Amino acid sequence: MSRLLIISTAVCCVVMTFGCRSVKTPPPIVALPVSSAPVIPLQLASYSGSTQIEVDFDDQRPDFERLYYPGTCEPRRWHDAMSVMPMESFTPSIEDELRQRVANSAKAHDPIVARATVMLTSFQFALDDREDIQSQYYAEYVNWEAKKEDEDDRREARRAAASQERMSDKHRDRNFANGEKEDSFGSKLMGEVVVGGFTALFVDKLRSEMRKEAARKRTTAEPQTLPSAITDSKRTGLNCQITATIIFTNRDGSEEQQSVRVNNYARLTDVSSVKQQTASLIEAALEEFSASL
C-alpha cells in the first residue's frame, strides 16, 4: 500500500481519496486555498534576544505555490499522485523563520549590515507517491486487462473450433446416413469453411478490435493536472525546495546579494510517522538555508 502524506490533524491524510476506487473517470486535481490545507507543526529551536537588524520579506512565489494540492491515489491518475503543501501550512511561520535566520546571520558574520531583504522566489514541499500509484495502475488496469483479453481470445478461439468441429461432424453423419455422394458433402463443407473464414477474418476481427478499443479507453491513464513546475523536479518520497535571494544593505548604503538554493529529499521509512519525517525534512531544509548564508 502506498504511503501518502499522513499529516492532517483528524484523519492524518492529505490525500482525500485514499483507498478509494472509482469506476467513472476521476475528476482532475483541484487546487485548494491555504485555509483548506492541514497545519503541520515543526519542532524548531527558538531564537532569544533581539538582533536589532530589520529584515524585509519580499514574497515572489508563483501563484501555484500559494495553493494546496491534495493529490490522489486513483491508479488512472497516477501522474497526480503527489501532495503539495504551501509554505503557510507549517507552524511556526516559515516567513518568520527565514527573517530571523537572515538577521542572525547578518549580525554574526557582518556587523556592518544595517538591514536585509529576503526575496523568496520558491518554497515547495511535496510528497511524491507517483511511483507506487503507477505500479498499482499497471497491476490493476493495464496488466489485468491485457491478461483478460488474452484469456477471452483463447476462449473464443476454442469455442469457435469446437463449434466448427461439431458442425462438420453433424453434416458428415447426415450426409452418409442419406447416402449422399462424398463430393456433395465436400461442397457443403467447403461452403462452411468459406463462411467460417469470413466470420473469422471480418466479424470476429472487428469484434475483437472494438473490444480492445473499449478496453484501451477504460485503462488509459488520465493526463496530469498538477503544475509541471512542481512535479518535474520531484522524486519518490519527501521533497523540500527553497530558493531565495538575500540582499544585505550595509550602514554605508552599499548592497550585497546572495543567492540561496536548498533542495532536500528523503525517502519515507517505517521508523517514525510521516508527520514526524515531514517535520524533520523541513527543519533540515531551514538549517541548510542558515548554513548557506
pLDDT, tens only, 254-289: 999 999 999 999 999 999 988 899 999 999 999 999
Domain residue extents for the chain: 34-133+225-291, 145-219
Name the more confident of 15 and 142: 142
Of all residues in the chain, the percent with pLDDT exceeding 90 is 43
| Mean pLDDT (the chain, rounded) | 78
CATH code for the domain defined by 34-133+225-291: 3.40.50
**Rounded mean pLDDT, 234-261:** 94
pLDDT at 18: 28
Chain-centroid distance of CA 292 in Å reads 31
Q: Would the pLDDT of 126 be above 80? A: yes
Pairing of strands 255-266, 90-91: unpaired
Confidence band (pLDDT; 50, 70, 90) for 11? very low
Confidence band (pLDDT; 50, 70, 90) for 86? very high
Contact 87, 42 (CB under 8 A): no
Angstrom distance (rounded) from CA 45 to CA 286: 11
Query: Residue 148 has which C-alpha cell?
Result: 483478460
Name the more confident of 264 and 46: 264
pLDDT, tens only, 138-185: 888 877 666 666 666 666 666 666 666 666 655 555 655 565 544 554
pTM of the model: 0.69
Angstrom distance (rounded) from CA 287 to CA 45: 10
